[in-house]
């Protein structure tokens, strides 16, 4: 099982990070050991002093594929949820400055939290899905898939030029603006439309 993540996929988040708009999807990966399933405790990692949440829509691959055309990409996933791409922002900034890979900041144990998956139904308009993150009951992030720079289908087509996609692989599709710090004791709740699919306390 592979976990793909997309960086810089919402213009408002690109702006808050002071980055440039990407010309093609920015892709990085997390190992299987990064996965935190719903209802599992999350422990603040000891190597960082600036842990950030990034709430993202996550899709689950349901069919093996390679060189997938964008127009056929919707046949390759059948479930979505919301997840948190946990980021050690202090470490990431140090690595970015030196032009080094991001893994220590992005791909550590338990850095990929995912909620309960829901099936994609024909009635769902994948270009207009709302998701949000609450921290201690206050809304801190709001996203809509219509605001993605690269759509889910465009992302899968792009990834599949480089990596085979296999059943069960997950794709974090990027975070909207509002990323921020979380501390021990914070409770994060991620919503897909009106449904809370992920609830996690930082321990």
CA distance 197 to 67: 31
Give me the sheet containing 195-201, strands edge to edge. 138-144, 130-135, 187-192, 195-201
- Measure Cα distances from 55 to 21, 71, 72, 98, 131 in Å: 19, 27, 27, 26, 8
CB of 106 to Mg ion, least distance (A): 8
Contact with Mg ion (CB under 5 A) among 14, 53, 54, 77: 54
CB of 67 to Mg ion, least distance (A): 25
How close are the terminal C-alpha atoms of the chain, in Å? 27
CA distance 92 to 74: 32
**Using the rule CB under 5 A, is 169 a contact of Mg ion?**
no
CA distance 68 to 59: 16
**Using the rule CB under 5 A, is 107 a contact of Mg ion?**
no
CB of 55 to Mg ion, least distance (A): 9
Closest-CB residue for Mg ion? 85
Contact with Mg ion (CB under 5 A) among 131, 175, 189, 200: 175
**Using the rule CB under 5 A, is 85 a contact of Mg ion?**
yes
The smaller minimum CB distance to Mg ion, of residues 6 and 61, is found at 6
The smaller minimum CB distance to Mg ion, of residues 65 and 152, is found at 152
CB of 200 to Mg ion, least distance (A): 16
The smaller minimum CB distance to Mg ion, of residues 57 and 202, is found at 57
Q: Segment contacting Mg ion (CB under 5 A): 82-90, 154-162, 181-189, 190-198?
A: 82-90
CB of 113 to Mg ion, least distance (A): 12
CA distance 163 to 146: 25
Residues of 22-60 as b/e, b for ≥16 C-beta within 10 angstroms? beebbbbbbeeebbbebeeebeeeeebeebbbbbbbbbb
Cross-strand partners of 88: 51
CB of 58 to Mg ion, least distance (A): 11
Give the residues lining the site for Mg ion (CB under 5 A).
54, 85, 175
């Amino acid at each position: 099982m592979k976990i793909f993540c997309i960086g810089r996929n919402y213009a408002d988040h690109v702006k808050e990070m002071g980055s440039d708009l990407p010309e093609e999807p920015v892709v990085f990966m997390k190992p299987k050991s990064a996965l935190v399933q719903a209802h599992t405790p999350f422990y603040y990692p000891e190597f960082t002093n600036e842990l950030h949440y990034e709430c993202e829509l996550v899709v689950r691959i349901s069919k093996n594929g390679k060189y997938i055309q964008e127009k056929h990409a919707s046949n390759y996933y059948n479930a979505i949820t919301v997840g948190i791409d946990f980021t050690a922002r202090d470490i990431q900034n140090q690595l970015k400055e030196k032009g080094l890979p991001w893994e220590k900041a992005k791909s550590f144990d338990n850095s990929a939290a995912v909620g309960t998956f829901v099936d994609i139904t024909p009635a769902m308009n994948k270009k207009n899905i709302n998701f949000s993150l609450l921290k201690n009951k206050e809304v801190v992030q709001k996203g809509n898939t219509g605001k993605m720079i690269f759509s889910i289908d465009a992302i899968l087509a792009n990834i599949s030029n480089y990596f085979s996609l296999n059943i069960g692989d997950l794709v974090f599709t990027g975070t909207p603006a509002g990323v921020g710090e979380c501390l021990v004791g914070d409770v994060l709740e991620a919503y897909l439309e009106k449904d809370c699919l992920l609830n996690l306390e930082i321990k």
